[in-house]
Chains A and B, each alone.
Chain A
């Protein structure tokens, strides 16, 4: 099925550990995004990539880094996880003429 694939679906980290969230899309979209979803706060943009080779900070970039590995893949890295990064992370992609953002099914991350 065409769409956005995120891995892993669930992850528990200890404070200070690092990890990379993976995202891949097979729709040939140019733009990709990472959002975090927290209760009562909606979806907040962490980083985005308007096209292959470019990345820019969103609303809440502190504590995160991203890599646009190629047109298909956009990864999000937590270098030193903190409890405040406990959240559900969504990757999305979009393209001119596409029907809005296509979101992945999310990664639920708990930092203890």
Chain B
């Protein structure tokens, strides 16, 4: 079964600095991978997804993610963080008839 792991529970970053959130997957074949964001008090919103092809995926809100098979990773990045990026971020992959989510990484943005 396909699963994902997010090693970082909490990350604090300064506004304007770069951000990278880690996601590791476990699956032999090419996985489907997603990143979702949950703003405080809100549901989850899809940031980007990877199915195949170009390993660098562009998403909404200025985010991108790179699929690296050699490292079994699908890390999310943003070059310059805004205060509104403070949220919880989830990596996910399909598993049978559901999405399996990582435990999430909470991002705090300091002024």
Whether A and B are associated in the same complex: the answer reads no
Q: B residues within 8 Å of A by Cβ?
A: none
Q: A residues within 8 Å of B by Cβ?
A: none
